[in-house]
Structure 1
Amino acid sequence: MSRVSPRVLGLLATLTLIWGTNWPLFRIALDELPVLTFRSVVLVTGLVVLYAVIRLRGESLAVPPGRWLPLTVASATNIAIWNIATSLAVLYVPSGHASVLAYTMPLWVALIGFVVFGQSLTGRLLLALLIGAGAVVALMAPNFVSYANAPWGLFWGLLAGLSWAIGTYVVKRTAWPGMGLSLTFWQVVIALPPIALGALVIDGLPQHWPSTTVIVTTLYIGAIPMAIGTATWFALVKLLPAQVAALSSITIPIVAVVSGIFLLHEPLSPLQAIAIASTVISLWLALVPR
C-alpha cells in the first residue's frame, strides 16, 4: 500500500473533527425537534450552503447524461436513509455508541466488495476488519443491559452503516465527469422532498418555537457537517480505494464518543475504552504501509 498523501490526511483530519463532534449535537437538537423535521431543516440549510459555495467557485451544476439513476440511488443511501437512521439511533443509545454502529460501514464495504464484486481481502485488511467488529461488539454489549430499547438503536445504527456502504460503492464505481460539489448538491436535492413531505405528514406543523440553542445547533449541523463534511467525504471516496476510504472513517466515532462524554456526560466503561483503542489499531492496519 502506498503512503497516504498530505492532501488525503488533511481531508481525513477535517472530516474526523467535523463529523466526530457532530453526533452529540444530534441529541441536543432531537430533544426539541421530531426526527423528520430536524432532518428537513438540516438538509435545507446544507442545500443553501452548497449552492452558495458552488456559485462562488464557478462550478457547473450540470449532471452528465445517464447519471440520474445512480445519482438517485446514491441520494437514497448516502443522504435519505443515512440521515433518518442515524437520527433514530441516537434516540435509543448514547450518541457516541450510535456513531460506532453507523461506522460499521467499513465492515459492510468489505463484505459487499467480497461477495458482490469478488474483491480480495488481504490478511492486513481482514485483521483490521475483525478488530473493528470486535470494537463494535464491546461498545454495544453494555447498552443491552443499561437501555431497554437498545436493540432498536442497534438496528437503526447498523442500517445506517449498510446504506452508507452501498452508497459509497455507487459513488466509487460511477464516473462523474465534471461533477465536484454538485455531486453532493444533487444528492441533497433528491433526498429533501420525501423527507420534507414525511415531516409534514408525520410530524405535522411545529406547535412551538424551539430554543435558540436548538436552532443554532440545527443550522450548524446543516451548514458544516451536512454540507462541508459530506462534500469532503465524497472527495475522499474519489481519492482512495473503496475499502480504504471506508476504513479511514473509523476515527470519527472515537471523537464522537469523547464528545458525548464531555458534552452529554455519556458513560464510558473500561471495556468501551478498550474498544476505542481497538478502532485506532484497526485504522493503523488499514492505512499505514507495512
Structure 2
Amino acid sequence: MTHSTTRSRWPGLIFLFVTAVGWALNWPAMKVLLKQWPPLFSRGVAGVAAALLLGAIATAIGENTRISRQVMPRVVLAACTNVFAWMGFSTLSMKWLSVSEGALLVYTMPVWAMLLAWPIQSRRPTRRGFAALALALAGVVVLLGGHGIAFDAGKLAGIGFALSAAVLFALGTVVARTAVPVAPVTLVAWQVGIGCVPMVIAGLLFEHPDFAALKANGWAVLVYMALVPMGVCYLAWFATLRYLPPEVASIGMLLVPIMGIVAAAIALGEPLGAREAAAMALTLSGVGLALRRPDAPSRGE
C-alpha cells in the first residue's frame, strides 16, 4: 500500500469510527427508552423523524427525491428487511435480552447471509464459511448458556426476535443482488420511512403507548435515535464507502457490538466478564471470517 493510498483511507476510517460509535451507543440508549415507551412505537417514531430529516437533507444537496414505480417494489422489499425487521425486531428483542445478548445475536447477520446464498445464489459455503458458522454459534452458546440452557418464554421470544432480525436482514442482502438506482440519501430516507411508519401504526394499535410516560432522558434518547443512528451515522456510512472497500468497512463494523456491550456495562451496569469476553471473541471471529474475502479460491474450497 502506498503512502498516498494510506492517507486517502484516513477520512474513511474516521467516518467508519463515527458510524460505529453512533450505532454502538444506540444499544444501551434503547434500553433506557424501553423503560418508558414500548419498542415498536419508540423505534417507529424515531425512524419517521429521521426519514423526514434525511428527506430534507436529500433535497438540500440536490438529489432527486422521487422514486419510479418500477423501482418502488425493490425499495419496499429493502425497507421490510433492512428497516422493519432489522430495526423493529432487534428493538423488540431488547425487552427480554441484555445488550450483550441482543447485539451478538443480531450481528451474526453475515453468517446467515453466507448460508442463505447457498440455496438462493447457488454459492456453496467454503470450509472457511463453515468454520465461521461454528465460531459464531459457539460464541452464542457460551453467552446464552452461562446460566444454564433452560430459558423462560420471554428469553426465547427475545432470542427469536434477535435472530429473525439477523436472518431477514441477511435475506434482504442476498436477494438484492444489484444496487437500487436511487440517490443514496434519498434511498435511505424512503427505506426508513416505509419501514418505520408500520411500526408507529402497530405501536398505536397493539402497544398503547403512554405519551405522558416519556421523561427528560427518554426524550433525549428519542432525539438521539432520530439524529445520530438513523441520520448522522447513515450519512457517515455512505461517506465511509467512498474511501474504503465494502469488505473492509463491513469488518470494521464489528466494532459496533463490542462498543455497545462495553457502553452498556458502563452506563447500565450490565455484566461484562470473562464469559461475555469469550462470547464476543468467538462470535465476532466467526463473523469476521464470514466477511473475509479470499484473494483466490484454494483447493477444496
Aligned to 2:164: 159
Cα distance, 1:284 vs structure 2 = 5.5
The residue correspondences of 1:45-64 to structure 2 (distance < 5 A) are 45-64=49-68
The residue correspondences of 1:85-234 to structure 2 (distance < 5 A) are 85-142=89-146, 148=152, 149-171=154-176, 173-204=177-208, 206-232=210-236
Provide TM-score, normalisation by structure 1.
Answer: 0.85
> Residues 280 and 288 (structure 1 numbering): CA distance in 2 closer, same or farther, change over 3 Å?
farther
> Residues 57 and 189 (structure 1 numbering): CA distance in 2 closer, same or farther, change over 3 Å?
same
Provide TM-score, normalisation by structure 2.
Answer: 0.82
Cα distance, 1:54 vs structure 2 = 1.3
- Write the deviation string for residues 117-173 of structure 1: whole angstroms up to 9, x where unpaired: 0224344454334322322222222265697332111111101101111222344x1
> Residues 207 and 279 (structure 1 numbering): CA distance in 2 closer, same or farther, change over 3 Å?
closer
Q: Does the CA-based 8 Å contact 1:101-1:136 persist in structure 2?
A: yes
Question: AA paired with 2:170?
Answer: A
CA distance in 2, matches of 1:177, 1:227: 21
How many pairs does the alignment contain?
286
> Residues 249 and 119 (structure 1 numbering): CA distance in 2 closer, same or farther, change over 3 Å?
farther
Relative to structure 2, which stretch is displaced further, 257-266 or 118-127?
118-127
Instruction: Give the secondary-structure state (helix, strand or coil) at the position aligned to 1:188.
Output: helix
Relative to structure 2, which stretch is displaced further, 278-287 or 201-210?
278-287
- Write the deviation string for residues 233-286 of structure 1: whole angstroms up to 9, x where unpaired: 567789756x87765533321111111111111112312211222345446644
Q: Would you say 1:67 and 2:80 are equivalent positions?
A: no
Find the structure with the greater CA-based Rg: 2
- Unpaired segments of 5 or more residues in structure 2? 296-301
Aligned to 1:41: 45
Q: Does the CA-based 8 Å contact 1:80-1:195 persist in structure 2?
A: yes
Q: Among the aligned pairs, what percent are the same residue?
A: 27
Q: Would you say 1:272 and 2:276 are equivalent positions?
A: yes
CA distance in 1, matches of 2:15, 2:286: 19
Q: Does the CA-based 8 Å contact 1:23-1:256 persist in structure 2?
A: yes
CA distance in 1, matches of 2:48, 2:65: 17
Q: Would you say 1:82 and 2:86 are equivalent positions?
A: yes
Aligned CA RMSD, in angstroms, stands at 3.0
Cα distance, 1:202 vs structure 2 = 1.7
> Residues 230 and 158 (structure 1 numbering): CA distance in 2 closer, same or farther, change over 3 Å?
farther
Relative to structure 2, which stretch is displaced further, 253-262 or 136-145?
136-145
Q: Does the CA-based 8 Å contact 1:36-1:198 persist in structure 2?
A: yes
